Amino acid sequence: MTHTIQPNNPEVTPAPVSTATAPSPAASAVPAALKRRIPKSADLAPLMQFKKPEFSKDARLKRASTIWDLRDMAKRRTPQAPFDYTDGAAEGEITLHRAREAFLDIEFRPGILRNVSSIDLSTNILGKSSRLPVGIAPTGFTRMMQSEGEYAGSQAAEAAGIPYTLSTMGTASIEDVAAAAPNGRNWFQLYLWTDRDRSLELIERAARAGNDTLMVTVDTAVAGARLRDVRNGMTIPPALTIKTVLDASYRPAWWFNFLTHEPLTFASLSRYTGTVADLINSMFDPTLTFEDLDWLRETWKGKLVVKGIQTVEDARKVVDHGADGVVLSNHGGRQLDRAPIPFHLLPGVKEAFTKDNSDAAIMLDTGIMSGADIIAALALGADFTLIGRAYLYGLMAGGRAGVDRTLQILEKDMARTMALLGVSKISELTPDHVRLLNK
């Protein structure tokens, strides 16, 4: 039927409109659910669920939902000098800020209508399986952050089914860490000293203790300018000055643990007294060349990884000299400020290795503070990732239980991110899942 509009006709009188059946708003029926009433006690009972306050370490850690939450806990429980040693970086800390910002400046591109009822986070790294695509990076002076130190880290890694890397400057021996986590996958990080005999001794000890991977760090020709440590008068062991005593009054548990456990010892030397920078400069060798890497390749029979790669050219070159893998790293921003950002370097290294038909592993550290960061790195071409500060924040927040909580948070983050991206296993991640913003 066609409706037409008639022109005005004075002879046609429109019919009056009746309003008798049009209800007013006030007269409308009010739904029962919206009528006011006095609440009944039976209605209130389900809402009155006041929980007894819990102040235990486990309850406190359970409330942590992010690595940033653990950092806040760590800061409250740890004296300023060791906390700043962990939290800080070189000079203006520009590199660290940029590394974290790099993970924020991405856009995930999810796929929909995929079956993600089961998420598999396992992967293969350097010939062996890892239950998660993340391992614990080497960190120095770890028992200074919290008395359980390397023992907590290695045991948490063992329980999680991931690799743990002991630093040359770790505060537990190679043998003790191996004994603490006998079923774990232990790696050893090496600084090549000017004294090659001492380096060789460490390499032999690592092999005898069952370490299957040697990670040589090459971005430390000299110590970086870690200004927080300078301002705090950071020494090994921590000095009892008026400032530290006052600081300790707010953190008695840390000092009680520190003073009632075995004094700090190192994987590479028995005792040392002095500043961090002096220790580092006494150990690092500014004369290192690729010939030293050749010597390591001949000496070490296990997997060899080079950590501290900051250019595509150097990544290719160390593989040519026998490395089984590289760690794209700027030492957590603790060496050269304004250094390249590993996450930004990743696509170029992946492309170069693909062109070279290289099967060398690409690992990445620096700036990782969530499981989403890890997934983004894997999507852009990393085979594996390493966490340093994230693990230490957990350690300072609650010892071994805090490290466990770090790994639980990251695992949950990773599984959720993958499900929302529409992928169920690591091998399904591709660069199409991530877009770099501001690039």
One-character DSSP codes across 94-124 = HHHHHHHHHHHSEEE----S---SS-B--EE
Across 23-37, 111-125, 270-284, the highest mean pLDDT is recorded for 111-125
More confident residue, 263 or 155: 155
Residue 343: which of 123, 42, 95 has the closest Cα?
A: 95
What band does 56 get if pLDDT is binned at 50, 70 and 90? confident
Give me the mean pLDDT over the 261-271 stretch.
Answer: 66
Residues 390-422 have pLDDT tens digits of 999 999 999 999 999 999 999 999 999 999 999
Active site residue 331: yes
Residue 350 lies in a domain: yes
What band does 50 get if pLDDT is binned at 50, 70 and 90? low
pLDDT of residue 30: 82
More confident residue, 99 or 229: 99
Residues 126-139 have pLDDT tens digits of 999 999 999 999 99
For residue 344, the tally of other CB atoms under 10 A from its CB is 16
pLDDT of residue 352: 97
pLDDT of residue 392: 97
Q: pLDDT over 70 for what percent of the chain? A: 85
Q: Where are the alpha helices (DSSP H) in 146-213?
A: 149-160, 174-180, 196-208
Residue 257 lies in a domain: yes
Residue 44 lies in a domain: no
The domain tally of the chain equals 1
Q: For the chain, give the longest Cα–Cα distance.
A: 119
Give me the mean pLDDT over the 78-95 stretch.
Answer: 90
pLDDT of residue 4: 47
Work out whether the CA dihedral 288, 293, 299, 300 comes out positive or negative: positive
More confident residue, 113 or 244: 113
CATH of the domain at 346: 3.20.20.70
What does the DSSP 8-state code read for residue 194?
Answer: S
Structure tokens at 167: 């630093």
Residue 34 lies in a domain: no
Q: How far apart are CA 368 and CA 378, in angstroms?
A: 12
Give me the mean pLDDT over the 275-296 stretch.
Answer: 76
Residues 291-339 have pLDDT tens digits of 999 999 999 999 999 999 999 999 999 999 999 999 999 998 898 999 9
Residue 50 lies in a domain: no
Rounded to the nearest 10 degrees, how much is the dihedral formed by the CA atoms of 306, 308, 309, 315? -10
pLDDT of residue 117: 94
pLDDT of residue 221: 74
pLDDT of residue 237: 58
pLDDT of residue 438: 76
Please state the φ and ψ torsions of residue 100, each to the nearest 5 degrees: -70, -40
pLDDT of residue 5: 46
Q: Which residues contact 412 (CB under 8 A, 6 or more apart)?
A: 371
Residue 412 lies in a domain: yes
Give me the mean pLDDT over the 189-214 stretch.
Answer: 90
Contact by Cβ (8 Å): 415, 119: yes
Instruction: Write out the residue range of the structural domain in which residue 331 sits.
Output: 66-436
Residues 11-37 have pLDDT tens digits of 545 555 555 555 555 556 888 878 888
The label of the residue with tokens 């085979």 reads 383
Structure tokens at 86: 């962990």
One-character DSSP codes across 10-36 = TTPPPPPPP-TT---GGGSPPPGGGS-
Catalytic residue among 97, 331, 344, 433: 331
Residue 428 lies in a domain: yes
Q: What is the mean pLDDT of the chain?
A: 87
In this predicted structure, the answer to whether residue 7 has a pLDDT above a threshold of 80 is no
What band does 230 get if pLDDT is binned at 50, 70 and 90? confident
More confident residue, 5 or 435: 435
Which of 96-110, 247-261, 379-393, 418-432 shows the lowest mean pLDDT across its residues?
247-261
Residue 375 lies in a domain: yes
In this predicted structure, the answer to whether residue 81 has a pLDDT above a threshold of 60 is yes
